[in-house]
Amino acid sequence: MSKRVLTTESGAPVADNQNSATAGVGGPLLVQDQQLLEKLARFNRERIPERVVHARGSAAYGYFEVTDDVTRWTSAKFLNTVGKKTETFLRFSTVADSLGGADAVRDPRGFALKFYTEDGNYDLVGNNTPVFFIKDPIKFPDFIHSQKRDPFTGKQEPDNVWDFWAHAPEATHQITWLMGDRGIPASYRHMNGYGSHTYQWTNAQGEAFFVKYHFKTNQGIRCLSSEQAAEIVGKDPNSHQTDLLQAIERGVNPSWTLYVQVMPAAEAADYRFNPFDLTKVWPHADYPLQRVGRLVLDRNPENVFAEVEQSAFSPNNFVPGITASPDKMLQGRLFAYADAQRYRLGVNHTLLPVNAPKATTAQNYGRDGAMALRNGSRHDKNYEPNSYQGPAETGDALGAPLAVAGWTGTHAAPLHTKDDDFFQAGELFRLMSEDEKKRLVANIAGGLSQVSREDVIEKNLAHFYAADADYGKRVEEAVRALRED
């Protein structure tokens, strides 16, 4: 078999890829050496901006299979038949650290799922926790700045982390999740995934329902203690990536069972918790889990950069039967996620193979921009409406309309009967075993005790006391003990 010929970017054959061209033996390099200059210039441009959050990630392809009839709640085609399968791409990630960070760290995990449906791509962007630190997107940049590297010290600072949380009492619920046993999953395969936000489903009759997604791992929950995680990070910073890759290569395909909680839209206004508050859960006693189907990962990406790093998700990618709810954090992310990818990858990032629809073809009037691959021909117009049989609107709404009323302005979220910032955090604490409580308190105290200002410590302690008196007392005692050492 003859060898393939190495060429330049323009396709010209390369005669020598081992030695640069020089002015005589041992002389200076020549600027006319096309191969040398092209290789160096391209090498300088190999990296693209990493994600501001969720930079460190792993992913795999798979499928989603419907196991239960949910057509009474949604008209989404990919969910309309028991046994129906849809190709998927799932990206896991840590949130706060950079692309070069370690996997086994105490941090929420992203759980971003792309369904390649016959109605186009549906992106479900969530985490491995059912709640989050804040409830309004206007606070998101400030929150992330507090968790990222300090501009002066160049490292994450407990002063910044806990100072922000001291001024964000709604974070107490998520802090209790993060500092508890599930704060460091043993692997991506051994954790749950959640849509976290509230979404709207609409059935064929036009009835609206609010839903929350729960992907329960079929491998069982496994977590790491802080000590175990520190040891693993020292041995293999890529531990989660290694585990996912090798499991699928061995044919041990991880799977999750999807459940949803379903709330008739009419019940939202009078529910005891604000159903659109990302810092709150819906207790299962109020809205039980309804099984939907099974998610299986069975194929690794062939190229991490092309398929994982260039993958792009946006919660604004809906399909008929599924739309957004008034969840403020979700509303903010409808813009922010897609815009982040336009910056990172360019306006035509949706044409990349990992992001392009697979079960249908995108047809619209988007044109030009960097790396445009689909600009149409002389017969295709770039405006709509037109008289040339170009793609046209359907007139069919994605979901049922929601009634709105009141004055425009910057409003705090409406309060429901149980809408304080601490009740659910206290409920979570009281569900824990004695050993779980001890580990939770130790994890919180380990960070809070490093804060330099007493007033910041006191503000955070007040939040834990408000959640549960015993919770606050234990944290206070642990912090004081560490500060006296």
Strand partners of residue 124: 113
> For residue 456, how many other CB atoms are within 10 A of its CB?
21
> For residue 464, how many other CB atoms are within 10 A of its CB?
27
Identify the active-site residue in 17, 19, 121, 127.
127
Identify the active-site residue in 54, 173, 240, 349.
54
State in Å, rounded, how far the first CA of the chain is from the last one: 71
Tokens (6 digits) for 279: 């810092």
Tokens (6 digits) for 334: 């409808």
> For residue 370, how many other CB atoms are within 10 A of its CB?
9
Residue 275, SS3 per DSSP: coil
- Measured in whole angstroms, the distance separating CA 57 from the mean position of its chain's CA atoms is 10
In sequence order, what DSSP letters do the residues of 14-33 get, joined into one string?
A: PS-SSS--BSSTT-PBPTT-
Alpha carbons 256 and 190: distance in angstroms, whole number: 10
Q: Note if 284 is an active site residue.
A: no
> For residue 7, how many other CB atoms are within 10 A of its CB?
11
- Is residue 327 a contact partner of residue 276, using CB atoms and an 8 Å limit? yes
- Is residue 212 a contact partner of residue 126, using CB atoms and an 8 Å limit? no
Strand 85-94 versus strand 208-217 pairing type? unpaired
Q: Which amino acid is at 45?
A: R
Alpha carbons 230 and 106: distance in angstroms, whole number: 10
Q: Note if 214 is an active site residue.
A: no
Cis before 28 (ω within 30): no
- Is residue 159 a contact partner of residue 265, using CB atoms and an 8 Å limit? no
Strand partners of residue 262: 211
- Residues marked active site are found at 54, 127
